[in-house]
Amino acid sequence: MRIATWNVNSITARLPRLLAWLEKNSPDVLCIQETKCAEEQFPFDELRALGYETAVNATGRWNGVALLSKVGLEDVVVGLPGGPLYEEVDEPRAVSATCGPVRVWSVYVPNGREVGHEHYAYKLRWFQALRAAVAQDAAGERPFAVLGDYNVAPTDEDVWDPSVFEGMTHVTPAEREALAHLREAGLSDVVPRPLKYDRPYTYWDYRQLAFPKNRGMRIDLVYANQSFGKAVGDAYVDREERKGKGASDHAPVVVDLDV
């Protein structure tokens, strides 16, 4: 079974590349972040033509997540139960479902913007709600994983130059503590390091030739429970998909399971 996660940075802009990637790689499940469209604009028909059922949490031009599955889509939960609001809005940042033998979440954790900003405090509250929401599944026997754009680099090794990010979001002790607290629910990172590349980043800014210079961050993660982790046969970052015209600024992360 192949499960992947990908921040597409606008499903409308990335649709041709997304469809081509799905045909080439044929994941059973794909978690998508940053759809940047309303649900009525989502390309259900194009994805159905490739055999995918879809669960979507999307409300407009910002944020948005989705789950694509060829192996069933049951017990769908749209949103983060008990999650905080930001400026009185329940942002579309989570969707979960049972897909065949596994249960998965697609999450797009808040960016945080700046340390001390209200969005940063919202990010930390969102992590607390996520831990509470996944704790039961994380401790269960069924293979379970939370995949997506976490907007946190777990360690200094997950950014190209820690000194560049000093005092900025994505690397602060509070964010990393929130990530560690999530792991304490019974989850672990199932994408090993090093992979094919010494530094398997998942995100590179569009500016200042960040991708050609490999000035990236590893912020797209697969955190899974023990049952899921034991079934992992391979895991990798599809760095090639970051290349070329019209690419997202994130690369897909792919996990192959023996279940």
Flag whether 7 is marked binding.
Answer: yes
Catalytic (active site) residue 149: yes
Say whether 161 counts as a known binding-site residue. Answer: no
- Among this protein's residues, is 108 annotated catalytic? yes
The pair of structure tokens assigned to 1 is 């079974």
Q: Assess whether 117 carries a catalytic annotation.
A: no
DSSP 38: B
User: Rounded to an integer, what distance in angstroms lies between the CA atom of residue 127 and that of residue 182?
Assistant: 7
Q: H-helix or E-strand containing 255?
A: strand 253-257
Residue 13 backbone class (left: φ over 0; alpha: ψ -120 to 50; beta: rest): alpha
170 in a known ligand binding site: no
The answer to whether 151 is annotated as binding is yes
DSSP 8-state symbol, 26: -
In this structure, are strands 253-257 and 2-7 parallel, antiparallel, or unpaired?
antiparallel
Question: What beta strand segments (E) does 207-251 contain?
Answer: 216-217, 220-224, 232-237
| CA-to-CA dists, residue 46 to 22, 49, 249, angstroms | 11, 5, 23
Q: Is 28 annotated as a binding residue?
A: no
User: In angstroms, rounded to a whole number, what is the distance separating the alpha carbons of residues 29 and 229?
Assistant: 16
Catalytic, out of 28, 137, 201, 250: 250
Please pick, among 137, 149, 158, 220, the residue that the annotation labels catalytic.
Answer: 149
Is residue 29 within 8 A of residue 70, CB to CB? The reply is yes
* 149 annotated ligand binder: yes
The one catalytic residue in 52, 108, 203, 236 is 108
Q: How far apart are CA 114 and CA 91, in angstroms?
A: 18
**Can you count the helices (H) and strands (E) in the chain?**
5, 14
Binding-site sequence positions for Mg(2+): 7, 34, 149, 151, 249-250
- Could you list the residues known to form a binding site, using ranges: 7, 34, 149, 151, 249-250
Active site residues: 108, 149, 250
